[in-house]
Structure 1
């Protein structure tokens, strides 16, 4: 039987999303880029496994209950009484754009350890996904390296989404050097336009692409918010505009885009030409746009039947 499913490795968060433009009241929601991805692929019908360390306090129970309700498999995650779930305070601007205001982590060393990974799960799945959130801390970086090794040994597609949060890193240089070393190992790489410019130390999309294309990343995706996204394969570049929707909150839109993209790769395989890659971008853009129509990253329900009509 052909391998099925997606592994998402990361750190679960509790997002505190402002409910008013004055940023005085907050709504508690499940969050974190790798969590958003896991929920997105699960909602799209893919078997999805989340790998992390969970706490057993009220916030830990909240995270676990929410993921269980979304159908995300936690059998290979680890639980401990000493873990305190990370928190992120997200402020909103007048036009609904997100602003990551602060990051709170009371137990930074309580992360999934290398020896707590189980190779068995990689033997079942088709795609391994991770981001930079497990790279700025040494212990979780080693876990990520071990997971990458398992993914390569079991022929998983490797997908990387930068999701840079510079406040977590000791310096811009350390962030850039570390992230670049990992994205070179991926088959599918997604970067926002500003992340491309930061990593390549450029100030334009054209200059950033000129530098990064020398690394021959098989599938490179550059998202540009409400404008749409570029896809690059074998030096060929295509652009797909984003559909127009009534945007309320853009939190998690990029993660939803990535979930839609991985759904395409999982179900249809690697695109062999720009026409198919454009179709993948169009679908991913629709999923990403849908995520902006509610407050928070996971409150907008994906209408799977309607979206598949466009794929």
Structure 2
């Protein structure tokens, strides 16, 4: 039987997203970058597994129910009665751009450990995806390293979304060093333009791309909002214009883009020429744009 499935590793959230720019009424959604990506991967039609630690309370049940509804496999999640789901309030400005307003994590040390990882799943999956959302934490960092080790051992493709949230890190230096170290280990890396500037300590796209080319990332994707995105492979940069839509809420657009990219790699393997790579990016631009047309990442 051929290997199938994208394994996503992370921490689940509940997003309380403002209905509009008055920021007075909030809708409840499952969230977190890795959850969003796992769901969009499933929606695109790729077998999607999610690895996380859940609780046994009503909030965890809500997240699990939503994942199951989206046909994301949660059989390998770990349940702990003490675990409480993180939550974040997201405000919306006049142009539909999101602003992370407040963050609450009642059980910050209850995360997946290396012993919680099911190696047998890595033997049957095809692509391993992770983000930086929990890498500030020692336990999560070690678990991610172990997951990467399993992925490499069993010949999986690896994909990393830098997805930087500086407020969660003790300092910029630690964040930059950690994210760069993990980016250098992945086959596929996605980052937003402002994250490229932060990681390379530049404020110019051309200069940032020049510096990041030294990291040896096989396939790099830079998202630039409504301007589109850029794919970098073997020193060549391909710019693809964005799909024009009326943006209502940009929460999760990058996660939808990432899901589209990894689904293409999962289904078609590594693109063998610039035309195929461009096709991957056009599809991702379309999915990312579609995600902005309604409130909520999903």
Output the TM-score relative to the length of structure 1: 0.95
Q: Give the CA deviation at 1:20.
A: 2.5
Q: Runs of 5+ in structure 1 lacking a partner?
A: 299-311
Q: Following the alignment from structure 1 to structure 2, what is the Cα–Cα distance between the partners of residues 16 and 27? A: 5
The answer to whether 1:292 aligns with 2:292 is yes
**CA distances 1:228-279 after superposition (whole Å, capped 9, x unpaired):** 0000100111011111112111000000001111111111110111111100
Which residue in the other structure is 1:306 paired with? none
Which residue in the other structure is 1:270 paired with? 270
Q: Within 5 Å, give how 1:90-239 maps onto structure 2.
A: 90-239=90-239
**Residues 13, 32 of structure 1: 8 Å contact kept:** yes
The answer to whether 1:49 aligns with 2:31 is no
Q: What is the DSSP-based 3-state SS (H/G/I as helix, E as strand, rest coil) of the residue aligned with 1:293?
A: coil
The answer to whether 1:12 aligns with 2:4 is no
Q: Following the alignment from structure 1 to structure 2, what is the Cα–Cα distance between the partners of residues 285 and 131? A: 19
Q: Following the alignment from structure 1 to structure 2, what is the Cα–Cα distance between the partners of residues 185 and 20? A: 40
**Residues 250, 297 of structure 1: 8 Å contact kept:** yes
Q: What is the DSSP-based 3-state SS (H/G/I as helix, E as strand, rest coil) of the residue aligned with 1:134?
A: coil
Q: Following the alignment from structure 1 to structure 2, what is the Cα–Cα distance between the partners of residues 102 and 226? A: 26
**CA distances 1:195-225 after superposition (whole Å, capped 9, x unpaired):** 0000011111111111000122100000001
Which residue in the other structure is 1:29 paired with? 29
Q: Following the alignment from structure 2 to structure 1, what is the Cα–Cα distance between the partners of residues 290 and 153? A: 35
Q: What is the DSSP-based 3-state SS (H/G/I as helix, E as strand, rest coil) of the residue aligned with 2:210?
A: helix
Q: Give the CA deviation at 1:117.
A: 0.6
Q: Following the alignment from structure 2 to structure 1, what is the Cα–Cα distance between the partners of residues 12 and 88? A: 10
Q: What is the DSSP-based 3-state SS (H/G/I as helix, E as strand, rest coil) of the residue aligned with 1:30?
A: strand
Q: Following the alignment from structure 2 to structure 1, what is the Cα–Cα distance between the partners of residues 231 and 120? A: 33
Q: What is the DSSP-based 3-state SS (H/G/I as helix, E as strand, rest coil) of the residue aligned with 2:133?
A: helix
Which residue in the other structure is 1:302 paired with? none
Q: Give the CA deviation at 1:280.
A: 0.4
Output the TM-score relative to the length of structure 2: 0.99
Q: Following the alignment from structure 1 to structure 2, what is the Cα–Cα distance between the partners of residues 17 and 214? A: 39
Q: Give the CA deviation at 1:118.
A: 1.0
**Residues 236, 274 of structure 1: 8 Å contact kept:** no
**CA distances 1:266-303 after superposition (whole Å, capped 9, x unpaired):** 111101111111000000001101101100000xxxxx
Q: Give the CA deviation at 1:2.
A: 1.8
**Residues 134, 144 of structure 1: 8 Å contact kept:** no
Q: What is the DSSP-based 3-state SS (H/G/I as helix, E as strand, rest coil) of the residue aligned with 1:56?
A: coil
Cα RMSD (Å) of the superposition?
0.7
Q: Runs of 5+ in structure 2 lacking a partner?
A: none
Q: What is the DSSP-based 3-state SS (H/G/I as helix, E as strand, rest coil) of the residue aligned with 2:14?
A: strand
Which residue in the other structure is 1:301 paired with? none
Give the total of aligned pairs: 298
Which residue in the other structure is 1:86 paired with? 86
Q: Give the CA deviation at 1:134.
A: 2.2
Q: Give the CA deviation at 1:47.
A: 0.7
Q: Following the alignment from structure 1 to structure 2, what is the Cα–Cα distance between the partners of residues 2 and 234? A: 29
**Segments of 4+ moved more than 3 angstroms:** none
Q: What is the DSSP-based 3-state SS (H/G/I as helix, E as strand, rest coil) of the residue aligned with 1:130?
A: strand
Which residue in the other structure is 1:69 paired with? 69
